[in-house]
Structure 1
Amino acid sequence: MTTLHDRPHTALLVVDVQNGVVAGTHRRDEVVGTVGALVRRARHEGVPVVWVQHCDADLVRGSDDWRIVRELAPGEAEPLVEKHYGDSFEDTALESVLAGLGVGRLVVAGAQTDACVRSTLHGAFVRGYDTVLVGDAHTTQDRTAWGAPPPEQVVAHTNLYWARQTAPGRTAGTVEAEDVDFAVPA
């Protein structure tokens, strides 16, 4: 269980599902559809959905690349956290947003697997959050030209190692979207 006291709730954290981030990613449409289904399910179950949106020289605020993909739309009451670094907690309001919601457990989906998703998973875990990665709801671009493995291997490796992540007083894991349980384990 989380090491964060008095934080009994779960939130769905949607990381950087923006036009310029997911354009050309591995299984883009399938992953966006899976994220959309998770968002609808979280809303139906009364689970907070928290959105993260990256902004930098390539993703200029207000540009089409910066916008959340057309298939998804943050609800009016759903927090939207802007970030400038890979870790969604780094120099953002994310921690205070989650504290205000009483969240100690995160279900994480989004892009890019080998950058912002991994950074955010680790950032959450070291800050005391129980952290679940949705194995079929994250994606990345092909960076084989720079020596990286193909995207399907990056996704598979991230799912594998996050499924085995451990630390005192916290839980981690990887589940498929159909197996996501937003209830906090007893």
Structure 2
Amino acid sequence: MAKTALLIVDMQNVFASMATTATPHINELHSSFEKTSRPIFFTQHGHTKEDLTPPYKNQLVRRWGPDGSIRKGSKDAELVPEMKKLVKDFPIIAKNTYDAFINTNLASLLEERNIERILVCGVLTDCCCDTTARSAFNRGFETWLISDACGSANKKQHEAGLSGFGFACDNVMTTSEALSKLQKEKA
């Protein structure tokens, strides 16, 4: 049985409208992981004043501009209220790229806990979720991208992220499929 963690990506105010259908599934995953004492991690995207000051060293700030980037400490950067309630003592990984492994301690936190498998959910399916899931896969973790627990700007982008990851990397499945597989492992 693989030691499994849940990674909830960037469920922040700025993306709230993109996560409405994903949120109930994220809650279900969180509840199951908490009940079974499996590790849960959150990510929170944001840019420092230095990131947002020219010359822009951060690739995302160069791409989206300082006004299109999430400012650390702003209301947009905060986790949505429903996720704030779930955080409790679970780690929040601060990140400033699509990939939650770059410039963070996520890899070491997972390795310390002997994690072998990661379930990825949150927003945006085709940016931070897909990029982080691919990075996990490339680091040797079995990686499940949870289709109904992810959201994006529109259906086309959401499906493109799922399709690309499913083809190139690992497993794409629904919340119920993932929880069913995990339950069977315990039996």
| TM-score between the two structures when normalised by the length of structure 2 | 0.79
1:147 maps to what in 2?
Answer: none
Q: Give yes or no for the alignment of 1:12 onto 2:6.
A: yes
Amino acid at match of 1:32: T
Change over 3 Å in CA distance of 1:185–1:159 after alignment to 2:
farther
1:124 maps to what in 2?
Answer: 136
Stretches of structure 2 lacking an aligned partner (at least 5 in a row):
53-68
Change over 3 Å in CA distance of 1:13–1:139 after alignment to 2:
same
CA displacement 1:34-81 (0-9 Å, x = unmatched): 111111111112111111111125322222111111111343321111
2:168 maps to what in 1?
Answer: 165
Instruction: Give the 5 Å matches for 1:133-172.
Output: 133-141=145-153, 151-166=154-169, 172=170
One of 50, 72, 78 as aligned partner of 1:67: 78
Amino acid at match of 1:61: K
Contact 2:16–2:80 (Cα < 8 Å) also in 1: no
Amino acid at match of 1:176: T
1:178 maps to what in 2?
Answer: 176
CA distance in structure 2 between the aligned counterparts of 1:140 and 1:185, rounded to whole angstroms: 31
Q: Count matched residues.
A: 163
CA distance in structure 1 between the aligned counterparts of 2:36 and 2:16, rounded to whole angstroms: 30
Instruction: Give the 5 Å matches for 1:4-43.
Output: 8-20=2-14, 22-25=15-18, 28-43=19-34
CA distance in structure 2 between the aligned counterparts of 1:185 and 1:105, rounded to whole angstroms: 13
Moved over 6 A (4+): 183-186
Contact 1:42–1:182 (Cα < 8 Å) also in 2: no
Contact 1:47–1:182 (Cα < 8 Å) also in 2: no
- SS of match in other structure, 1:90: coil
- SS of match in other structure, 2:89: coil
| TM-score between the two structures when normalised by the length of structure 1 | 0.79
Contact 2:120–2:144 (Cα < 8 Å) also in 1: yes
Change over 3 Å in CA distance of 1:184–1:126 after alignment to 2:
farther
Amino acid at match of 2:164: Y
If each structure's helix is expressed as a fraction of its own residues, which one has the higher value?
A: 2
TM-fit CA distance, 1:107: 0.4
CA distance in structure 1 between the aligned counterparts of 2:102 and 2:182, rounded to whole angstroms: 25
Contact 1:107–1:133 (Cα < 8 Å) also in 2: yes
Aligned-residue CA RMSD (Å): 2.1
Contact 1:54–1:85 (Cα < 8 Å) also in 2: yes
CA displacement 1:89-120 (0-9 Å, x = unmatched): 00101001111111121000011112111110
Contact 1:109–1:133 (Cα < 8 Å) also in 2: yes
2:126 maps to what in 1?
Answer: 114
